[in-house]
Structures are given as structure tokens and as C-alpha cells.
Amino acid sequence: MEFPSFYRLNVWRARANMRVWTLFLLLLLLEIGVVCSSSDYLVGLGSYDITGPAADVNMMGYANTGQTASGIHFRLRARAFIVAEPKGKRVVFVNLDACMASQIVKIKLIERLKERYGDLYTENNVAISGIHTHAGPGGYLQYVVYIITSFGFVHQSFEVIVDGIEKCIIQAHENLRAGSIFVNKGELLDAGVNRSPSAYLNNPAEERRKYKYNVDTEMTLLKFVDDEWGPVGSFNWFPTHGTSMSRTNSLISGDNKGAAARFMEDWFEQKGYEKTDSAKIEDGGLPRKISNIIPGLHNNKHELLEIATSFQSSPGRSATKTSSVSKRVRAAQRKDGKPRFVSAFCQSNCGDVSPNVLGAFCIDTGLPCDFNHSTCGGKNELCYSRGPGYPDEFESTRIIGERQFRKAVELFNTVDEEIEGEVDFRHTYIDFSQLEVTVSNEGDSEVVKTCPAAMGFAFAAGTTDGPGAFDFTQGDDKGNPFWKLVRDLLKTPTKEQIDCHQPKPILLDTGEMKKPYDWAPSILPIQIIRIGQLVLLCVPGEFTTMAGRRLRDAVKTVLTSEEDFEFDDIYIVIAGLSNTYSQYVTTYEEYQVQRYEGASTLYGPHTLSAYIQEFKKLAMALINDEQVEPGPQPPDLFEKQIGLLPPVVVDGIPLGVNFGDVCADVPQNSSFKSGDMVTASFWSACPRNDLMTEGTFALVEFLQEKDDWIPAYDDDDFCLRYKWSRPYKLSSRSRATLEWRIPEGVTPGVYRFRHFGAAKGLFGSIHHFTASSSAFVVT
């Protein structure tokens, strides 16, 4: 039936008036705060410096007593995100540029958060995960076996990590605003290889046929978008070890994942995500921290040299404690009211995954190492794996970091799936020392037990990323009489313990060693965090590739078994090295081979089955909205810690010299180009006197006008290295050497080095100082 035209016009007018009044009402409700944002989440991100002591402290990871820190490759950070329902639950995830999380760190952090926020942030909804760099200061864990090489507990390492985590969570909390979260995943093939393929091959052939590769190749990325500011950060998970930097490196470094995070944060801040896609990255190379406020000074090399000659090195002079912070290139936490972009590259099931993708070779012959035992002529010390930049470990670190960075940018730019659904979490403590586990065996089930912690002989053999010493080998399922005698001087394992760990021959019975306090953990935290269709499994150790696959599959089966589960596809991600550390977790079949990972699986052959059993319980409680028992509390061993690292007594300098004076200057009338290394050295002092947290020891400055020097690169840049050294071990004198590998695309002009330090006087006073080198030209 046709309505008269005037009737249709009146209907249209009535509808238009209704729209106007509806809009007016919505605006009014917004004004008085009745209508909330359409976003389902509040999102906040934060980041803070956790670099720690850059001298004298043993590095955590390789357990090499000779590997002590003596400078900074680039700084370490704690990065956090908070996701909250506007009127519901919230979760915190912290990613540390550290080897692993620590139980005592989390205990003390939660105490601080409780004092500040009450019960808003607890051990249940806060997760802390480490990237597994082997180039960070040690001494911050509470169990004896993990702090032996650092001469016990190092309070400075511990305090800077706890303080940094707390401050990054405070930042994230204060940045909480309405926003959205997006998820994407993609395949990255050239950033990791299996370093124990003989153990992987012991898994059932039927199971192995389900997977194309013997390592996981999937990266999962979250993109955080503020409703007003746009993208504010990203976190991704991908498994590869933080061992691009070798066991002989002495510079603090975030290794490949820390490098990738720095590359992505600089990329976003400099170019903006909307202006740069992955194709342009391929063409233009990695972004570098080049200040875009620096104008070109001159293009005439002769004129530049004349200007540089007029700036000779300055003598050391007093400085304020905050000088290095104010000069730091990335000092500003906010830009135009918006927080800095935060990008974290998190660790997953990396247990048997090495970033040294060229393979393992004998250093004496150049031939591949023995396949089953990773030895060369029977010696494990000669078998080393090679990174893609071999023999340059810094280049290998850059390449593996770059590959992860490029994949993350691709996922960031192409993401289109939005996270939807509730925020929830479950957490409990489990005593893994004698846990009953029901396992299936050819259709039948039996109850087995885990064991008190113990480490096998192959643990001491190390891996191809960092071989051990003496006559230990991977794949040793017998041990040898001499080392058993040495072991028995510490603790003789009982027959029950020996039988429980079969076929692992016990080298260190750590779970039963209690003097002066616990050598290894027995009570471990397990935790599930859910944000919509993303589920994080926070595990306190290093799962191998197949162990991680089994755990993910088991949890997915539970979560998708409910008919009313709202998602057809969910993202289940393993967040490795979370909340505490308990070494490795292999499959039952990999354990039988007793390579390094199996020998380092602390709680016996059924460790993985125990994790699967307990995580399935957590997952069931999650989907059924049931609470779980908190479990037995882990010990707080803070008051029992013993630290034997001697303090800095006093810093000294030669007669007639000031702290900071140049002792090896840049050559006069010198010019350099991209790819060149520029170096200068200064009379300095021990960096343990002041960690320069959120500051810098090293600076490259650019001459903008007649005498206006502005910071261009600091010790948080991949291209600038701060190296510290003494002429001999007990000397009070020391030097700081700054090395700048001039990056591609650097702005031509006049540059100089600047060094910041803090010297300790005989009576404990701290004197801050600074000095600069002679100027030089970059063309």
C-alpha cells in the first residue's frame, strides 16, 4: 500500500526529532557520568629501569663463576600491563628483562602492593615472567643453588628489581583508561632451533607427526589501544632462549628479546605505527634512536672538522645525582600527556629452543658436534652453537631480536580480532616434592608420585649455548664414581630418592639439602590468567617444546569441553619462567634420554604429568566459576639470606687526575661514518655506587648550534656500549670506556661522548661527576 507523500514526510520528521532528543539525552547522561565508555576494559601500561649493578656481580643464567658484570650493552626494564573490567576483576602481567622471576621478589612485591593498594593486587592476579636473558645481574633469588655463583644474595640486585616492578605497576595503574585489546598470531621460522633434537625424537612418532617443526614457531601478540590516545603498547610471546650473548659476555644486556623490545618501542615513537609497515622495515632496516629535532648542521666536512677541533675534552667536574637522568634520551615518561609506548617480548616454552640457529660445532675441528651427547672427541667443553652473526655475539643478538621485532610489527599492523569477554584468574601453590599424580598407561591408569628436587649429572654438562666443564656429558644416565663421592660430601641421596628419579643419576640432591637454608623450591605457584579468548598459563620453569604443547592441549580440552563456552577459538599461551623458578620441565620420554633439560627436570619423570593434572584443575575451576584452595605457602627466606659479595670500599684515581678525566681520547681531527666504531675512555669509579636507575652512564651528544649539545644516544641504545674495568681485581682505580658503533642513517654533524659516574670516598660519601671527550665528526 502506498502512503501519501505528506504522510511519509511527517513520519521522517518525527523520527528525526526523536534522534535529536535521543542524542541530547545521551550527551546529558554523559555529562553527569551515567553512561560509561563502550569499551569493555580499562587498560594501563608501565615501564621502569631494573638494570642493577653493572660491576662485580655474577650474571644469572650460565652459572659461570668467571662471568661477572663489567658494563652495560643496553639497559634492562620491567614492563607491565593491567587489564580491568570497569566494575569487575583485574589482572597484572609483568615482563622482566631478567633471567627469570623469583619467589622472594614476588613475596616482597605483593607486600608493597598491599600496603599501597590494599587487596586490589595480590599474588592471585599478579604474574611476573622473565625473558631469560643470561646477561643480567644475579643474586636476587632465595634458594641456595641459584645464588652460589653470585656469592650468595645480592641486595642491590634484589632491591632494584622489586622497586622497578612496583614502579612499573604504579605507572600502569595510574595510566588505566578505557581501551580495547586486539590479538593476532603468526609464524616465525628463523629465530630458534631445537638444541636437544635427540631428546625430542624420543617422543612418540605419532605425536611428532602432528607438528611440522621440532620447535614452536608461533608468536602471539596483544595490541593495546586507548580509546582516546590510540595504540599504547603491545606484548607478545614467542619461545627462544636468551642466549645470543655468550657465557663469556660481561655486559648487562636484555639479549635478543630485550633488543626486540627496544627496537619496537623506538620504531613506534619515531615513525608511528600508522606510517610504517613491515615492508618499509624490510627496505629501510631497523629504526635507530635518532632525535628528529636535530637539524642538519653542515654538509661541508672541512667546516665540520674546524668546528669539532674547537671542542676539546673537558676535565671531570662535579655533577648532581639527577644529571644523568635529565640527559637521558628517553627521560620523558609522557609525551603531550600520553604515556610512552610499551612493548614487551615475553618468553614461552623455550626449554629446548636455542637462538643460535646455525647449529652446534666443535671449536677445534669446525665439524658438527656429536648428535646424541653434544661432545667433540668426548668433551662437552668444545661444543658451541653459533648464532646468525657468528662470530659476533652482538650481531647475533641484533639479528634474532630484529626477526622477532619484524614479526611483531607485522602482527601489530595486521591485527583485526578484538579481545572480548571476562577477565578472570586462578592461582594456587602446589608441593611438587611428593605429589600424587594419576597417569594413563596403555588405557589403564595408575597413581605415581613426583620426587623431592634433584639435578642429574647431565645438568653439569651445560648446553650447546653454554657448555659446562670437567668430564660431564649430556645424555649421561649413569654418572661416574668420582663425582658421586664429591656429591656425597654434600648430601647422599636415599635409595628411595634414587629410585624415584630413575633413570636420572643424581648429582645434587637439592630438594633434601637444607643447610644453611633450602637449596631448591618444593612449593611452586601455578596460575591461569584469562582475558576474553586469551588464556595465559603462568609456569614457574622452562617447558620444552613438546611439554608445552601437551600442557596447552590439555588445558584447551578442559576449557572447550563446556557447551556454553563462548569462544570457538581461544589463544592458549605459556608464559614461562613465571613467579618463581624451578628449572626445566620435559616430557616423560625426553626425560629418559637425560640430556641437559631432562637432568634439570627437578621433580622426576612425572613432573609434566603433575603440571598437566594441576592446571586442568585450575582450568575447570575457572570455567565453573569455582574458587581454589590457596595451597601451602612457600617459605619466605629473606631473613636467612647470606651475601658474601664485598662492598665497594673506596674509589681511587692517579695523582693530578679528577674523576671523569679523559684517559684515552677520540683522535684529534677525526671523522667517522656509519658502521665505524668510535671509542673514548675516562677515569671512573665503580658503577655500584649509583646504579643510575632511569639515567645513564654513557651519552653521545650532538652539537646543535654554537655550544648547544643535546643527547642523541645513551646506554639504553643497542649501538652504544659502556664498559667498565679495573687494572687488577682489588684495585681502587677504574676506567669507563664508551664504544659507539655508528648506526645507519645517523644525522651528519659534530658529536662527542659524555660520561656520568659516582665515586665513593674513604668515609662512605658519594661524589657524582661528569666529563666529555673531544668532539669528532660523523659524515
List residues with catalytic annotation: 354
Name the residue with cell 666536512: 301
Of 779, 769, 772, 748, the C-alpha closest to 700 is: 772
| Cα 537 from Cα 578, distance rounded (Å) | 9
The answer to whether 150 and 116 are in contact (CB under 8 A) is no
Q: Was 241 annotated as part of a binding site? A: yes
Q: Was 542 annotated as part of a binding site? A: yes
Of 194, 210, 62, 197, the C-alpha closest to 593 is: 197
DSSP track, 37-50 = PS-SEEEEEEEEE-
| Cα 670 from Cα 693, distance rounded (Å) | 33
Cell of 493: 641421596
β pairing state of 749-760 and 776-778: antiparallel
Alpha helices in 491-606 (DSSP H): 495-501, 545-559, 588-593, 596-599
DSSP track, 711-776 = EEEETTSTTEEEEEE-SSTT-SBEEEEEEEEPPTTPPPEEEEEEEEEEEE-TTS-EEEEEEE---E
Name the residue with cell 662512605: 764
| Cα 428 from Cα 615, distance rounded (Å) | 10
Of 656, 658, 733, the C-alpha closest to 315 is: 658
Cell of 417: 580480532
Name the burial class of residue 60, with classes exposed (0-12), middle (13-18) and buried (19+) by CB atoms within 10 angstroms of its CB: buried
| Cα 770 from Cα 696, distance rounded (Å) | 11
The answer to whether 17 and 9 are in contact (CB under 8 A) is no
Cell of 645: 659479595
Name the residue with cell 640457529: 357
Name the residue with cell 611476573: 128
The answer to whether 188 and 400 are in contact (CB under 8 A) is no
DSSP lists the bridge partners of residue 368 as 361
CA–CA distance from 778 to each of 323, 705, 741, 751 (Å)?
Answer: 26, 16, 11, 7
| Cα 343 from Cα 262, distance rounded (Å) | 8
Q: Was 121 annotated as part of a binding site? A: no
Cell of 11: 513520519
CA–CA distance from 606 to each of 268, 499, 576, 646 (Å)?
Answer: 45, 13, 19, 42
| Cα 376 from Cα 623, distance rounded (Å) | 52
522: CB partners within 8 A, 6+ apart = 431, 432, 433, 452, 453, 511
Residue ranges of the binding site for Zn(2+): 132, 241, 542, 584
Residue ranges of the binding site: 132, 241, 542, 584
